[in-house]
Amino acid sequence: MYYFCLINRHIKMNKLVFATNNQHKLREIREILKDKFEVLSLDEIGCHEEIEETADTLEGNALIKARYISEHYGYDCFADDTGLEVFELGNAPGVISARYAGIDKDSKSNMEKLLNELSGSHDRKARFRTAIALLINNEEYLFEGIVNGKITELQSGNEGFGYDPIFMPEGFDLTFAQMSSEDKNAISHRGRAISSMIDFLKNKK
């Protein structure tokens, strides 16, 4: 006699918290990780408190956030921290990229300050660097992603966020803000850091 079983064909995706509420970043990351993980935001796990980023490195800040979520909410989690590093300015704004023009300032003020600091400078080389801290099964891992490029003289484009209108990646005549999110993700600092994390997760499981 044959017995037939009904197999639940729904593949249950693993939940992974991304320690952010930045909708731009969530959209980017969900696009990259689609089919692999259900990515939850801080809001979605009910975490509404401010996690202070007090470290003086990108890696340190990423670890602070990932450890906080793991300890207080019990989820596997990853957190990123990104800095724009401009060589002529000794790698500033770096870890203070979000608040370069002041704690209450926005991207527009940050870009204006950077363009002023670089005015008249011929060396406009810069890079975005992302550090990711992953906490999974109570183990910690760090990943890095870098995209080299330059700071343009003027702002161009309306896509993306942050410094995108003044960052032109190497090998392109477009700023990040003139690229589609797919094109940016394919070469971006965050895309590269995420790819390293994904490769790691694939090999681990």
Dist. CA 14–CA 45, nearest whole Å: 14
Report in angstroms how near the CB of residue 137 gets to ligand IMP at its nearest.
25
**Percentage helix, strand, coil for the chain under 3-state DSSP, each rounded to 5:** 35, 25, 40
Number of residues in contact with ligand IMP, rule: CB under 6 A? 16
Please answer whether residues 17 and 76 qualify as being in contact, where contact means their C-beta atoms are separated by less than 8 angstroms: yes
- Spot the catalytic one: 43, 81, 123, 199: 81
Q: Contact region for ligand IMP (CB under 6 A) — 75-83, 112-120, 137-145, 192-200?
A: 75-83
164 near ligand IMP, judged by CB under 6 A: yes
Concatenating the DSSP letter of every residue in 55-123 gives -SSHHHHHHHHHHHHHHHH---EEEEEEEEEEGGGTTEEETTGGGTT-TT--HHHHHHHHHHHTTT-S-
Which of 107, 152, 178, 185: binder of ligand IMP (CB under 6 A)?
107
80 near ligand IMP, judged by CB under 6 A: yes
Give the nearer residue to ligand IMP in terms of CB position, either 37 or 128.
128
81 near ligand IMP, judged by CB under 6 A: yes
Report in angstroms how near the CB of residue 106 gets to ligand IMP at its nearest.
9
Which of 94, 145, 149, 160: binder of ligand IMP (CB under 6 A)?
160
By the 10 Å C-beta count (0-12 exposed, 13-18 middle, 19+ buried), 34 is classed as exposed
165 near ligand IMP, judged by CB under 6 A: no
Residue positions annotated with a catalytic role: 81
